[in-house]
Amino acid sequence: MCVIPLTLKDCAFAARLHQAAFYKGWTEEDFQEFLKDPLVFGLKIQYPSPAPSGHPLPQGERGFFTLQRMGYLSQKWYRQYGKDPSPLVGEGAPKGRVRGNKKTKYLSFILWREVAGEAEILTLVVDPSFQRKGLGQLLLNDLFEQLKEKGISKLFLEVAEDNESAKSFYIKNGFQVIGKRPNYYERPGHTFVDGLNLLKNIER
């Protein structure tokens, strides 16, 4: 399993995951528009790890950022953040829909925008078949590290007020509610729920 950049080639899979996770999820065209923006960045989790051209599979612990930039996550990284990917593959893997072809499983992705020294999470999605296995935490931790490297100290996001699991996840990760958008998210039956504005101060 690896964390690697989300690219324009991934828009179809990103749209399928988003539509499976959210009411009126984004389309492939929506993701194309986002990823053509030079201020928008993304990461995805897939299995197996693609071997970068000219690089053998890393051996031992050569440091988090070296491995991450090559597309690999070391055992040191998993010990630090507390999740081993082994339950996601092999005989113990959960049954259900998996994105991608027979050789590649697309499991999760995050998309964010950086403007004027601040960042905003646009969306974070985990395949419904692989939720509650730490994938969202892996992506969020990676994002925190990247923002620290760039000197970005404020990270914003919006979440639906009725999305209890998402609210709990972000608050656990240090986000605080700073505002509200009334009737922002549409629900079935043409009903609406408020959106909550959250902020996390990134410690350097």
Q: Which of 158, 161, 184, 186 is catalytic?
A: 158
Q: Peptide bond preceding 48: is omega within 30 degrees of 0, i.e. cis?
A: yes
Annotated catalytic residue 120 = no
d(CA 43, CA 14): 11
Query: Residue 3 in contact with residue 43, Cβ under 8 Å?
Result: yes
Q: Which of 170, 184, 186, 203 is catalytic?
A: 170
Query: Residue 116 in contact with residue 163, Cβ under 8 Å?
Result: no
The per-residue DSSP string of 57-113 comes to PP-S---HHHHHHHT---HHHHHHHT--SGGGSGGGSPPS--BS-SS-EEEEEEEEE
The per-residue DSSP string of 162-174 comes to T-HHHHHHHHHTT
d(CA 79, CA 85): 11
Annotated catalytic residue 185 = no
Q: Angle at which helices 11-21 and 28-35 pack, to 10 degrees?
A: 120
Just list the catalytic residues.
158, 170
